[in-house]
Amino acid sequence: MSGQARLMVRDLRSELAGPFDLDLSAGECLAITGSSGAGKSLFLRMIADLDPNEGEVRLDGVERGSMPAPAWRRRAPYVAAESGWWRPTAIEHFPPDRTLPARDLAARLGVGPVQFEGEVARLSTGERQRLALVRALVLEPPVLLLDEPTGPLDPDSTERVEAVLLERLQAGVAIILVSHDVHQAERLGARPTVMRDRRLEPV
């Protein structure tokens, strides 16, 4: 994969945002800041093909349109600021063959077995957020699209999440991160950008 971007975006656009052009290398983190409503979440959702869009998106040279949408989203999962849950318990949201690594990863992020196996309705906002991240991480994707992944977390939980993200970056995962914490971008060694009027600009 020498000289090739892990994630390549060309002329990605919709009626609401863009166009966007982006090259993201393996092990690189892109941090996006910007005011509310500027289009940060929309940009991530467009890459994940969750919202209507046009343009070219490639992952390790493979065009997004060459695979079914669910397969693409497993390779480039989007973790929303408030993720959806459609089953009563958290553990039901993980494939049976990924339950053990998911449990271990949740423990690393400070979510114990009682919460992991318990009802989603009883989880705190921060516990749901960390488990949503685990849900994406256990897929072992080459790209992560993270929308305020530590927004509701306390400093200790934030540190735990950042430690795991740094490990993934070192392993070659590319990450696009929406965060209002400029210090978080620095801790992750991220390339800073800002979303203005639904266009992405370097800082």
Q: Which contacts of 120-127 are long-range, i.e. CB under 8 A and separated by 24 or more positions?
A: 120/85, 120/87, 120/88, 120/89, 120/90, 121/88, 123/90, 125/152, 126/152, 126/153, 126/154, 126/157
2: pLDDT strictly greater than 90: no
Count of C-beta atoms within a 10 Å radius of residue 95: 10
Q: What DSSP element (H or E) covers 143?
A: strand 143-147
% of the chain residues with pLDDT over 70: 99
183: pLDDT strictly greater than 50: yes
Rounded to whole angstroms, the Cα distance separating 133 from 101 reads 13
Count of C-beta atoms within a 10 Å radius of residue 52: 10
pLDDT band of residue 1 (cuts 50, 70, 90) is very low
Q: Write down the domain spans for the chain.
A: 7-198
Give the pTM: 0.95
Average pLDDT, the chain: 94
Q: For 7-198, CATH number?
A: 3.40.50.300
> What average pLDDT does range 51-76 have in this prediction?
96
Tokens at 13, concatenated: 């656009």
> What average pLDDT does range 25-50 have in this prediction?
95
Using an 8 Å Cβ cutoff, are 178 and 147 in contact? Answer: yes
The alpha carbon of 116 is separated from its chain's Cα centroid by a whole number of angstroms, namely 20
pLDDT band of residue 3 (cuts 50, 70, 90) is low
pLDDT band of residue 75 (cuts 50, 70, 90) is very high
